[in-house]
Amino acid sequence: MENAFQHIVQDEVTVTPYCHLQEAHDGFGNEVQYGSLSALHDGIRIVSQGVVECADYMLPDEHPEDYYLFPSPLTAWDSQIQWLAQGLTAEGIMHAVHSHMTYERFVTDNQTTAIEAYTKGAGVCQDFAHIMIAACRAAGMYARYVSGLVVGEGETHAWVEVWHEGHWLGYDPTRDREILEHYLKIAHGRDAGDCPINRGRFYQWTTEKMIVNSSVNSLN
């Protein structure tokens, strides 16, 4: 994603078996590539690689969309989350979410809501982000979900952007830190359902198993 803090110098996406890709933007302004395969195949491999120049993580925005202020399918809040946010700044909410939650795989899935994850007290980065977004919106702050990559990690990551005085600022509740650098943004939306890494539809009978591996390194 090209934006104020990251400039795409070079990028290439290849699909095996070969698939011609077209480019577009979704309703949230995310860049998307899409295509279709009509020939029979037993697997799809997608490789994305490139070079990105990054500056300080800050995105100017004079007027956020109001849907970043209201509940979405995965970021509705209850009295517990509302209480969590009471009187706190975005950074304070981030600390509170991190303190409440334990990072644990396989206790949630991609349909788990912020309320369900908060009640469990455990989950992965998607759940940490959903809870922080719900709490920020409950406190009257514009907040949105972000999917992307982190330098040195081999899988995708999720974090939060909160609008403050004309800018979107990045927060990572999973790691309990404000984002300044070493994060590569792919997409944003109301919650994880708006910005999956990939999305598709199969025709005819099939089974599906998706494996995502990523490699991000700093050139400095």
Each domain of the chain, given as residue ranges in start order, spans: 55-194
pLDDT above 90 covers a percentage of the chain that reads 55
Name the CA dihedral angle for 85, 87, 89, 92, rounded to a multiple of 10 degrees.
Answer: -60
Distances (CA, A) of 77 to 111, 117, 158: 15, 11, 19
Give the predicted TM-score (pTM) of the model. Answer: 0.88
- DSSP, res 168: E
Closest among 167, 187, 191 to 56, alpha carbons compared: 167
Task: State pLDDT tens for residues 61-95.
Answer: 988 999 999 999 999 999 999 999 999 999 999 99
Q: In the predicted model, is pLDDT for residue 97 greater than 90?
A: yes
Cβ neighbours of residue 48 closer than 8 Å, sequence gap 6 or more: 11, 12, 13
What integer pLDDT is reported at residue 1 of this predicted model?
79
Q: Residue 3: helix, strand or coil by DSSP?
A: coil
Q: In the structure, what pLDDT confidence band is assigned to residue 220 with cuts at 50, 70 and 90?
A: low
Task: State pLDDT tens for residues 127-171.
Answer: 999 999 999 999 999 999 999 988 777 788 999 999 999 999 999
Q: Which CATH architecture has domain 55-194?
A: Roll (3.10)
* DSSP H stretches of helix in the chain: 79-85, 90-100, 114-120, 125-138
Q: In the predicted model, is pLDDT for residue 213 greater than 70?
A: no
Burial of 36 from C-beta contacts in 10 A (0-12 / 13-18 / 19+): exposed
